Amino acid sequence: MNETAIEVRNLHQSYGDFEAVRGIGFEVARGELYALLGTNGAGKTTTLDVLEGYHPPTKGEVRILGHDPVAERDAVRHRMGIVLQEAGFYKDLTVGETVAAWRRWTRDALETREALGKVGLEHREKVRVGQLSGGERRRLDLALAVLGRPEVLFLDEPTTGLDPEARRNVWELIRGMLADGVTVLLTTHYLDEAEQLAQRLAIMHQGRIVTEGVLADVLASRGTRITFRLPGFAGSDLPYAPGLARRSVVVNGDAFTVETDEPQEDLRLLLDWAHGRRLELGGLEVRRPTLEEVFLDVAQTEGVAA
């Protein structure tokens, strides 16, 4: 059996003259959750559209469970479940009627009650879809996506707009699917979501993947941060020789951020220096960067480069 569930090679996708995805590649193993991160317009939805078989790629190649999702649609379509970023329902049908209608063209579908139970919507079975809250509609999206016991699940911003409790419920559902061996490709712009769920992730920016790997590696690609407040001093006053590649100093008012690959050495220098001058480093902290900082860095460097 093929161990790779999703393969993307040199994918380009254009809308007219505009290239929304500019040559990306990644692989997702069976049973793994892979997260695509990126700000709005990064190209996440466009990438998913191609993987889901809505359009053939402008250039490059994609494979789902070893098949071309457009040319071999019949071989894979019923093995994937899709939560679109934005898709409508028939508002005048009830929740139960909607699931029942979808079951009629879904092979080996879950029972209606079972599907609703998975997403905690059993008690809303008789309610018209138009009357559901945003969070409930998102759960109905999920119920339809898992109806056919998919092997690969595509989730495009599944928790955007949900309250914290609803988000945690969706995460539980996703973990349950992973435990059953389902492969999940998730897009999000919530970094904590990726930290919670993803084994591996990629950060997309303007149609390209700028960082990719397991979470720890992505974070390790950036240095440890030493932050503190010190009024009346400039960056050049610190005991650091200038021009060192392993270290950078950013000063914002009295807030200093030292990013370094050798935190122990740099911290010792800093403390000795402050001790000798009887200076108080306010709010001193030493920590690994958060995904959020990596993300902002990426957006910033790329933004400056563009």
By CB under 6 A, name the binding residues for ligand ADP.
15, 18, 20, 38, 40-46
Q: Per CB under 8 A, which of residues 95..114 are in contact with other proteins?
A: 97, 101-102, 104-107
For residue 63, the minimal CB distance to ligand ADP (Å) is: 20
Residue 4 belongs to what H/E stretch?
strand 4-15
For residue 237, the minimal CB distance to Mg ion (Å) is: 45
Among Mg ion, other proteins, ligand ADP, none, partner that 42 touches (CB below 5 to 8 angstroms by kind):
ligand ADP
Residue 159 belongs to what H/E stretch?
none
Q: Site map for Mg ion, 5-44, x if CB under 5 A?
A: ---------------------------------------x
Dihedral pair phi/psi, residue 167, rounded to 5°: -60, -45
For residue 273, the minimal CB distance to other proteins (Å) is: 56
Q: What is the Cα–Cα distance from 109 to 93, expressed in whole angstroms? A: 19
Q: What is the Cα–Cα distance from 198 to 26, expressed in whole angstroms? A: 14
**Which runs of consecutive H residues, i.e. helices, occur in the chain?**
44-51, 73-76, 95-103, 112-118, 134-146, 164-179, 191-197, 215-220, 263-276, 291-305
84 binds other proteins (CB under 8 A): yes
- The candidate with the shortest Cα–Cα distance to 240, out of 229, 250, 253, is 250
- Closest to ligand ADP by CB, 18 vs 105, is 18
For residue 64, the minimal CB distance to other proteins (Å) is: 13
Do 182 and 150 touch, CB atoms closer than 8 A? Answer: yes
Residue 174 neighbours by CB under 8 Å, 6+ apart: 33, 153, 155, 158, 184, 186, 197
Among other proteins, Mg ion, ligand ADP, none, partner that 86 touches (CB below 5 to 8 angstroms by kind):
other proteins
Binding residues for other proteins, rule: CB under 8 A, are: 15, 52, 54, 73, 77-78, 82, 84, 86-90, 92-93, 97, 101-102, 104-107, 144, 148
